[in-house]
Structures are given as structure tokens and as C-alpha cells.
Structure 1
Amino acid sequence: MHPPEPHSPPERPPPMSGAWRTTWLLLAFMVVNFADKAVLGLAGPEIRADFGLTRQEFGTAQSAFFALFSVAALGVSLLTRRVRTAPLLLVLVLMWSAAQLPMMWGAAGFGTLVATRVLLGAAEGPSAPVAIHHVHGWFPQRERSLPTAVLLFGAAAGVAVAAPVLSWVITHWGWRWSFGVVGLVGLVWAVAWAIWGAEGPLAPRVGKAAKGGTGEKSGAGTGSAPASDDLGVPLRAVLLSGSFMTAAFGAFAAYWLMSTLLTWTPDYLESVVGWDLHGAGTLVGVGALANGVVLLVHGLVAQRSARREPTGRRLPVGAGAGLLMVVSGCAVALFGTIDSMWGKVPLMLGPITLAMVMLTVAMTACARIAPPSQRGVVLGALTFVFALGGILSPLVLGGMVDRAATVSAGYEQGWLLTSGLLLTAGVLAALFCRPEATAKRLGISEAPSARVPLVP
């Protein structure tokens, strides 16, 4: 679509169906994405029993998922300056779905598990930054908090749906079928995206088209001209800013917590607390759903605050997210040290979930300080950093549990380490994550607000 002439009347605004249909499709994309991640943790006890693995060896298999996760996230995000995001998303989902299916083969052993997790991680690493970059092409800056939260809700919904469903599959069909189910669902989504997936009216130009102007395309009905001088802001200035670095570290700590909960909570609840697989899977699913509710509520509050209050009067997003991370860190410490399940369950479903807000804040903050043509790269760099939490937490906590005098003592040490990360990241974000001030210093103005509907 070509931008309208300066003096021509603006076209109609982007239809609600286009922006929100894309958002719902990508929500489903994220649901499948995180169901894929959750399957190994849910099937973990059965896999360890079948293959005779220690917890540290199992942690190695879980970390194999992240071996190329961060590198692929950064590498594919660099492609967003040359290739449209719609076909990129289709290729990624086909790759990750195909990576799940070999584990249905009865002869597939530990080596196959590690190899397929590496391939799966390479395909899923770029998924979140590319999906968020894509959906930001449908919404102007002031409208992006809610759709970003909706996509990240897919992470929670993926676990919430996967935990009870895959636990049932594992119990009745065996753990190998849990891999097959999520692979087949991914292929179904790929068909839907091939039919309905499309680029947004505010998506930045790519490839040769970008040479004529690197700003965001003028969306249908926005009446806004492409942003200028995107390349006048060096990428290193964005990546070395206090806002980016503290947002990235905060997201790293939040993702460490998420990976810990996905990987080790089922085993913790079975080995230490004494629950069965069904009960552990159900609590993990409900906890993930609580994470999603927190993300959606935060997205709505942030969106309405952006609409009603001038930028200078709003509480800096880093301060709010940092405070929530501090509360979450204290809750994790209590969760790991108290004995009563009457205390553990409310903590897991309440205060611990508040750290996940940092994932939304980090994504929107880094998108705010990035020129449009570099947004995909910056989001990829953010993912590169925070995904390291997914690599390290299974290895570190698995080793701590195996080396401890008892399983219970090892898990207690792991929860306290996680708490310390959250507390440190929360304080740093509260002090130094100031995306509006950073954007002003870098000379990145906020794009005019398009008339895109707030809610479907």
C-alpha cells in the first residue's frame, strides 16, 4: 500500500476486523508456542524414568531447547528488515511443528530428544519478537500495550491449556503422544495463517522498499507520514541505554522464573509436596492462567492510562514494573521456605505472578525507544538476553537439587536464588527503565495515534 499524497483526504481507518483478527491469530500462535515449551516439563517424570536420567541430565535436555533459542531470535529478527513478518511466522511454525513429531517414534531416545529440542528452540526463539513486531504493524504506539499483553497472555494460556490436556494425554496415551499432539496443532495453525495472515498498515518497509524511506508505512486511515531518520539513531545507542539494559535484565529474571515454574514445579510438587501428576499439572495450569490474567489487567490499565494522561504525568513504567517484581521476589522466597500448601498455593496464584508484567513492559518499552525499521532487531536483541534465563535456570536448579543433601533442600536453595534475581532486577528497573526519557534523548518521536479500536 502506498502512502496517501500530502493533500489527499485520509483513507478510512484500518478495520477492527483486520487488527484484532491478526491479534487473535497470533494469540493462538503463542498458545501453541508455549504448549510446546511446557510439554517436556509435564512429561519429565515419565521421561526420566524411561531413560534413567538424573535431574541434572534432564535439565540438560530442557536447556537444549535454548541452545540456539537466543541466537535464532537475534538472527531471524535481523531478517525483519529484509523479509516480511507474515511469511517468517509461517516458516517458523512449520519448523517447530515438524520438530515435535520424531518423538512419537518408539525408538527415539535421549539423543533424539536433545536434537529435536535444539531444533524446536531454534524455530521458537524468534517467534515472540517477530509476532510482536508483526502485531505492532497494526497498532500505533499508544495502542500497543493491550495487544502486546494479549499475545503474552498466550504464553500463560498455552500452559493453562497444555497442563491438564497433556497430563491427560500422558496418562492415557503415553508421554510420546504429548509431543505429537502439540506438533499436529501447530500444523493446523499454519493452515489458518496461510489463509488469513497479513501485514499491518503500519508495518515498516522491508528490503528494497525500505531504501526509499525507512519509517513505518502510512497506515490506511492514519494520515501519518512515514517516520524519518530511522538510521540516524545508531543501534548501539538503543542497546546501551539504561532503559534497554534494565528492561532486558528484568525480562531475564521474569523469564528465569517462568522457565523454573514450567520445568521444575511439576517435579517439585510430586517429589517434595507429594502430589500426583494430575494435581501438579492442574496447579501449574491454574498458575499459568493467573499469570495471563495479570498480564491482561496490566495491559488494559496501561492502555487506558496512556489514553487519559499526558506522558509527563504518568508513573514511569519501569518504576511500576520494578515494584511488582520486588513483591514477586519476596513471594518466591516465602514459597520456597514455608511448609504449608495453604500458603504455597495462594503465593503461586497471586504475588508470584506479578513478575510476568515485566515481559510486557520490556517489550513495549524497547519498542518505544527503537526506530520503526529497527524495532524487530531491538525486540530480537531483547529476546536474546531474556531467553538466557531459559537456558540457565533448568541447568542451575537441576544441579542444585542433585548436589543438595535432600531434594527439598535443593529446591529451597533454587527458590531463594530465583527470589534474589527478581529483587535485584526489580530495583534496577525501578531506578533506570525510563523509555519516554530515553526516546526523547535519542530523538525518537511518538508516531501520531491512529484510530484503531481499543477493544474488539
Structure 2
Amino acid sequence: MSATAGAAALPAEAAGAELRRGAWGTTWLLLTFMLVNFADKTVMGLAADPIRDELGLTRGEFGTAQSAFFALFSLAALGVSFLTRRVRTTVLLLGMALLWSVAQLPMLLGAAGFGTLVVTRVLLGAAEGPAAPVAVHHLHGWFGQRERTLPTAVLMVGAAGGVAVSAPLLTVVIGAWGWRWAFGIVGLVGLVWAVCWYVRGEEGPLAPPLGRRSPSSAAGDGGGASVPYRRLLLSGTWLTAAFGAFAAYWLLSAGLTWAPDYLHEVSGLSLRQSGAVVTATAVGNAVVLLSHGLLARRASRKGRAPRLPVGLGGGLVMCVAAVSIAAFAEVDAVGVKIALMVGPMALTNVILTVSQTAVARITPAGQRGVALGALAFVYALAGILSPLVTGRMVDGASSVPAGYRSAYLLMAALVAVAGVLAVCFLRPERDAARLDVPETPGAGPPVH
């Protein structure tokens, strides 16, 4: 039975409570989905040294293996996003979880070498590429426009939480059983999540109907008349959101791959100490995302807009983060570096929530999955380029510290440009009015 049908059979107050439970129950399940997703990505960075030692890889070759994860990531994100108009997101999410879990398990075999590593990372990336856009699209089927920032932020916390939870656990696994079992553990956990989702996953009351629809029928489901994708994807809001997410994902991907190596080689920390710093950084990322979501929710519940427009607020935060990244590259004190990683550098992640909700605002409900998939297509390109470029810069520099310094200054420049663009062009309400996309109302009483 769907959430809508079940709620309709209940008195109004009970129906509202049922919808709230369903909405937040789905949010927690999808948060776990993203936790597993980013635990998968974390394995390579945490196991970098033992993998390179056992397989005899240079940093450039290791960066190539990590970039292989994103070889089909973007294409899969875009391709599967079109399926959201034909296939229920519950089915798509289940299929992705099963595929990415199975893709991890071959690395348990002792004979699996560099070739197997590259192939499995390609398959894993193809399975995980659509994860975020499909999960956000599914989640927005449970929440109205003004209620979405906090649950979207909770979902994005999965990126930070996946690192925070997995880093210490996988560090212990790698030390006790070897790096191959780190791949096996995350694969098995993914299979467990798939079973839970098969039992509990369901569509929300605001999910758009499936199949091809005329503009009039699109308007009938509350999503507004269909808008040509060319107009959507060339709007200032979509382009700025895409570049901002690209810059944030560049920093995130570089950190997942190279932060443990940087902390070990440049700052002199042990593997266990590096894992602890990565965990602390992930916690800082989670705090930033949740704080942003709670502030937006507080403003929404009071019926007023945030004190700063979305673009201005998000852009200024990105500029502060850019200055912090540049300072990180220049200072030598380990304590200062760690403080910057845990604190102001984490502000970059705000744009990940802002970009998702801004794109959802300017897009009719039936086209939302495709617009979010196209957004993922762009920012996932950073996942291809960032590990590879960073590895090559370090290998080609006069020293490892010099290479990492240049790599982090490049990251700072990307984030700074994204911040300036957000201040100037991220205007979801203006572009929604221009595209004639009405605000999506809530499905009932406000979700608390």
C-alpha cells in the first residue's frame, strides 16, 4: 500500500502523523544508504598505502585506479535519471545497492590485482553514480518545497557520516585483517541495507506519476507545466549550482583519496592518527550540513525567508572556505591544518545542499529526477579529475609537500570562483518565476 492511500484512510490528525513518520523514516533509511555509499568511496583512501605497497603502484597509478571509479559515474547518473520517469525510485535504489555491493566482493580474492581493482571500481562507480540524484528525487516526493532543506541536508550528511563512521572501523579492519577485507565488509553492509529497503522502502505522496505526460497532465500533479530541458539547464541557477557542486566535489574527492596520504607523508601522522583526523573532519562536515539545514528549517517554520538570499549566503560561505583551503596549503603547523580541515574548510559542503534544493525549486516535479541527474553528471566529473590531477601534481612536483601545496591551491581557486558565481547568479526564486514553476506545497501538516 502506498503512503498516500494509507494516510487517506485515517483521520486528518492521524494521517498527518503517519505521513511524518513515513517521511522521516524514509529520510533515515536514505541517510544510511548514503553512509554506505561514501563508506565505499572511503576504502581506497584509507587503504592507499597497503594497496600501493602490495600492488606496486605509484601515486599516479593509484590516482588512475581511484579515477576509474568515476569513469561511468557521470554517464550512469545522467542515464538512470531519465529512468526516474519510467521506473519507480524504490526499484532503482534497490538495484543500485545490490550492484555496488556485489562489485566490492571480488577484491577479497588474493589473486585480484590492479586490473581487477580498476574493473571493480568502474562497476562500482556505475552503480553509485545515480545514488545521490535518485535518492534526493525520492526524498523530495515526501516533502514540500519549504520543508526540503533539512531532510536534504540530512541526506548529504551521509557523505560526511560515511567517512566518520567507516574511517575508524575500516582502519581497524585493515590493520587486523588486511585491506582486502575492507572492501568485503562494505560490500556485505550494502547487501544488508538492500534487504531493509526491500522491506521498508516506499514512494512518497508527492512523487510524480510515471510515464510520458503532456504539459497539462504535468500541471495537474502539482509539478507545473513541463519546461524544455534546454531552458532549465542553461538557467543561471542550474549552471551556478552545477559549478558549485563541482568545486565542492573536487575537494571532497581529493580528500577521500589523498587526505590520509597527505597527513602521513607531509604532516608525519601515523595511519591510525590520519584515520582519526579524517573522522574528525567528517564530523565537522556533518555539523556544518546539519546546522545549515536546521537554520533553514527554523526560518521556514516561522514563515520567513532566510536573512541572506540563497545565492549570497551560499556564495559568501564558499569564499570563506576558499580562504581556509589556501591557508591550509600555506601553513606548516599540524594543529592549524587539522583545525582548518575540521572547521572552515567544511563550509564547502553547504553548496551540496544548496545546489540540490535550488535545482529542485526551478524544476517541475516530473522533470526533477533528470535535472538532478544532470547536476550529478557535472559534479561527478570532479570525481574523475580530482584524484587523477592531484596524484599527477604530487608525482610531478619537486617534492611531495610542494605537489600537495599546488594541488590545494588549485582547490582553493575552484571554490573561490564557485562562491563568486553563486553570489552573482544563484537565484532559484527568480528563475522559477521566469520558468513558470510554482512552489511545491507540502503533503499535509508540516513535517516536524
The equivalent residue for 1:275 is: 269
1:273 aligns to what SS in structure 2?
A: coil
Deviations 1:216-261 (A, max 9, x none): 8xxxxxxxx6226532x11111100001101110000000010111
The equivalent residue for 1:333 is: 326
Question: What is the Cα deviation at residue 200 of structure 1?
Answer: 0.4
Question: In 2, Cα distance between the equivalents of 1:334 and 1:182?
Answer: 35
Question: In 2, Cα distance between the equivalents of 1:17 and 1:121?
Answer: 32
Question: In 1, Cα distance between the equivalents of 2:149 and 2:100?
Answer: 27
Check the 8 A contact 2:223/2:366 in 1, yes or no. Answer: no
The equivalent residue for 2:359 is: 366
Are 2:431 and 1:438 aligned?
yes
2:382 corresponds to which of 368, 383, 389:
389
Are 2:314 and 1:321 aligned?
yes
Question: What is the Cα deviation at residue 316 of structure 1?
Answer: 1.6
2:225 corresponds to which of 213, 219, 230:
230
Question: In 2, Cα distance between the equivalents of 1:84 and 1:211?
Answer: 19
Deviations 1:395-442 (A, max 9, x none): 111000000000010000001000000101100011100001000111
Are 2:235 and 1:254 aligned?
no
Letter in 1 for 2:248: A
The equivalent residue for 2:282 is: 288
Question: In 1, Cα distance between the equivalents of 2:393 and 2:3?
Answer: 57
Count of aligned residue pairs for this structure pair: 441
Letter in 2 for 1:64: A
Cα gap change, 1:197/1:449 in structure 2, threshold over 3 Å: closer, same or farther? closer
Are 2:102 and 1:98 aligned?
yes
Cα gap change, 1:228/1:296 in structure 2, threshold over 3 Å: closer, same or farther? closer
Gaps of 5+ in 2: none
Are 2:284 and 1:298 aligned?
no
2:266 aligns to what SS in structure 1?
A: helix
Question: In 1, Cα distance between the equivalents of 2:141 and 2:69?
Answer: 29
The equivalent residue for 1:451 is: 444
Cα gap change, 1:100/1:432 in structure 2, threshold over 3 Å: closer, same or farther? same
The equivalent residue for 2:339 is: 346
Letter in 1 for 2:380: A
Check the 8 A contact 2:254/2:387 in 1, yes or no. Answer: yes
Letter in 1 for 2:257: T
Question: In 1, Cα distance between the equivalents of 2:314 and 2:168?
Answer: 30
2:312 aligns to what SS in structure 1?
A: helix
Q: How does 1:183-262 map to 2 (within 5 A)?
A: 183-207=187-211, 210=213, 214-215=217-218, 226-227=221-222, 229-231=224-226, 233-262=227-256
Question: What is the Cα deviation at residue 449 of structure 1?
Answer: 3.2
Percent identity over paired residues = 60
Letter in 2 for 1:96: W
Question: In 1, Cα distance between the equivalents of 2:268 and 2:54?
Answer: 21
**Range moving further from structure 2, 62-71 or 15-24:** 15-24
Question: In 2, Cα distance between the equivalents of 1:228 and 1:283?
Answer: 44
Letter in 1 for 2:239: M
The equivalent residue for 1:427 is: 420
The equivalent residue for 2:114 is: 110
1:367 aligns to what SS in structure 2?
A: helix
Cα gap change, 1:63/1:2 in structure 2, threshold over 3 Å: closer, same or farther? closer
Question: What is the Cα deviation at residue 282 of structure 1?
Answer: 1.0
Gaps of 5+ in 1: 217-224
Cα gap change, 1:45/1:30 in structure 2, threshold over 3 Å: closer, same or farther? same
Check the 8 A contact 1:139/1:452 in 2, yes or no. Answer: no
**TM-score, normalization by structure 1:** 0.93
Question: In 2, Cα distance between the equivalents of 1:98 and 1:252?
Answer: 28
Question: In 2, Cα distance between the equivalents of 1:75 and 1:200?
Answer: 23
The equivalent residue for 1:219 is: none
Question: In 1, Cα distance between the equivalents of 2:217 and 2:199?
Answer: 28
Check the 8 A contact 1:103/1:180 in 2, yes or no. Answer: yes
Question: In 1, Cα distance between the equivalents of 2:278 and 2:3?
Answer: 48
2:437 aligns to what SS in structure 1?
A: coil
1:207 aligns to what SS in structure 2?
A: coil
Deviations 1:328-377 (A, max 9, x none): 11101111111001211111110000010000000000000001000000
Question: In 2, Cα distance between the equivalents of 1:122 and 1:228?
Answer: 29
1:450 aligns to what SS in structure 2?
A: coil
Letter in 2 for 1:352: M
The equivalent residue for 1:88 is: 92
1:170 corresponds to which of 168, 171, 174:
174
Are 2:142 and 1:151 aligned?
no
Question: What is the Cα deviation at residue 212 of structure 1?
Answer: 9.6
Check the 8 A contact 1:149/1:299 in 2, yes or no. Answer: yes
Question: In 1, Cα distance between the equivalents of 2:445 and 2:32?
Answer: 21
Deviations 1:22-46 (A, max 9, x none): 1110010000000000001110111
Are 2:404 and 1:411 aligned?
yes
Question: What is the Cα deviation at residue 323 of structure 1?
Answer: 0.6
Letter in 1 for 2:211: G
Cα gap change, 1:382/1:60 in structure 2, threshold over 3 Å: closer, same or farther? same
**TM-score, normalization by structure 2:** 0.95
Question: In 2, Cα distance between the equivalents of 1:3 and 1:257?
Answer: 40
The equivalent residue for 1:222 is: none
1:230 aligns to what SS in structure 2?
A: coil
Check the 8 A contact 2:244/2:422 in 1, yes or no. Answer: yes
